[in-house]
Amino acid sequence: MADKGSFSFFLSVCVVSCLVVNADYTASATVGQLFVYELQREVFQSEFRTFQTDFIPYLTHYGPINIHPMAFKCSKEMYPDLPRWLRFTQRETSENGFLYGTPLEEDVGRNTIELVIVNKQTYDTFKDRLVITVTSPGKFMPYQAEFFMPLREIEIVLPSTVREDIMRDVQDMWGTENLEFVNITSALDRGGRVPLPLLGHFEGVYVKVGTDQYFSECLLRLQSSGHRQQCEATGTSKEDCSVCWDKSNCVNWCKSVLFDLSIPVIPTPAPTPGSGILDADDFYDPPDSLPSREFWADYLVTVIVPLVLALILCLILTYIMCCRREGVEKRDAKTPEIQLYHQRTIHNNSDELREMAGGRVVPPPLSTLPMFNAHTGERMPPLQRPFGADSSQIPLIMAQEEPNTDTLPR
């Protein structure tokens, strides 16, 4: 018995680890309907363990439930970005990521997505593949409605439980169970603004739902003219018949729209191109005379006014520079006389100063005398000078010690 048990345990370990290691993840999507794939961190965490081979994946089901923070990088295989219809979102590394979007006809077939998963706790990196098979045709859903939920954020709306809650509200409004999600978009992707990081501020989410059943009475009120007028005037509508069991799922009735795709859209006829050549007798007749334009006002403003201003400025400057110089007004512009007067006073003053200096009793400072030795204070007596010697024969600098040598008096 024990042998059998351990053998089956071993077998299941092998099977599980083979499956986990080798299999790509698969998912399927339908054209025109919302596709959501949740990248669950616990799933990838168990993959990391099999990767390290020191854990048995079988046991991780009972193992510690400490889910590591993870970052995902998703792209189309061999391409740098995701396919156009698919978007990825993950708010925090401590939360799951979501791949979501609505495939179109041209996306039918296998869409292989490469996932790079970085475990932000151990910094292990792991590469995996997700194969999304898009099938066509989807359900025929000519009647669609889009609701704006101002109190929601995309990552909070994408989990299936919240989507079910929203769907229940819409089912109540529409009166049918036969509804499908067509598109879920963050308001930020539609030009919405990033809200303040405060409690009670949300990005907002657009939810588009479709069915083959015609709109209910309640929904048709969205098209009444009274509703539109009220929305334009006040921003709220009395025609609001929306249901919200959960306050955060309440819709903004004024920003909700109906789409009736059952009415065929008549394509506008393309313009028929001509031959590109004028007929022989058709010729271009230019008009004889153009209506004359009046330029007088322009001329006045651009030429005359600045000219007059410049002239006035010039006159003012001339007056200031020539007629109002200091002293001129007193002496009636006899300029040479003033200059002579200045010169005379300077001359008289310096004469007076010299006289005063000559009458000083205090002996003049030694440094002013000739042949004074600045170091020794010694001075050559004027008697040494040969009487009547020509002053040009006395050396200007007496033979003495170099001022920089150490022969200064101690």
Give residues in contact with ligand NAG (CB under 6 A).
102, 183, 185, 189-190
The token pair at 185 is 């978009």
DSSP state of 379: B
Indicate the residue among 102 and 119 with the shorter CB distance to ligand NAG.
102
Cα Rg of the chain (Å, integer) = 50
Indicate the residue among 185 and 237 with the shorter CB distance to ligand NAG.
185
Smallest CA-to-CA distance from 93 within 41, 32, 168, 151 is with 41
Compute the least distance from the CB of residue 102 to ligand NAG, in Å: 4
Indicate the residue among 185 and 242 with the shorter CB distance to ligand NAG.
185
Compute the least distance from the CB of residue 24 to ligand NAG, in Å: 25
Compute the least distance from the CB of residue 32 to ligand NAG, in Å: 6
The token pair at 157 is 């709306």
Indicate the residue among 194 and 356 with the shorter CB distance to ligand NAG.
194
Compute the least distance from the CB of residue 103 to ligand NAG, in Å: 8
Compute the least distance from the CB of residue 261 to ligand NAG, in Å: 11
Indicate the residue among 130 and 205 with the shorter CB distance to ligand NAG.
205
Q: What number of other Cβ atoms are within 10 A of residue 152's Cβ?
A: 25
Q: What number of other Cβ atoms are within 10 A of residue 146's Cβ?
A: 18
Compute the least distance from the CB of residue 171 to ligand NAG, in Å: 21
Give the CA-trace dihedral at 316, 318, 320, 324, to 10 degrees.
-130
Contact 148, 198 (CB under 8 A): no
Indicate the residue among 102 and 256 with the shorter CB distance to ligand NAG.
102
Query: Which residues share a beta bridge with 28?
Result: 133
Contact 33, 181 (CB under 8 A): yes
Question: What phi and psi values does residue 119 have, to the nearest 5 degrees?
Answer: -80, 115
Give the CA-trace dihedral at 159, 160, 165, 171, to 10 degrees.
130
Compute the least distance from the CB of residue 75 to ligand NAG, in Å: 18
Contact 147, 170 (CB under 8 A): yes
Indicate the residue among 75 and 183 with the shorter CB distance to ligand NAG.
183
User: Long-range contacts: 234-241, Cβ < 8 Å, 24+?
Assistant: 241/173
Indicate the residue among 86 and 173 with the shorter CB distance to ligand NAG.
86
Question: What phi and psi values does residue 28 have, to the nearest 5 degrees?
Answer: -130, 150
Compute the least distance from the CB of residue 104 to ligand NAG, in Å: 6
Longest dimension (CA), the chain: 149
Indicate the residue among 63 and 192 with the shorter CB distance to ligand NAG.
192
Burial class (CB in 10 A: 0-12, 13-18, 19+), 269: exposed
Compute the least distance from the CB of residue 234 to ligand NAG, in Å: 27
Helix-helix angle 2-22:41-52, to 10 degrees = 110
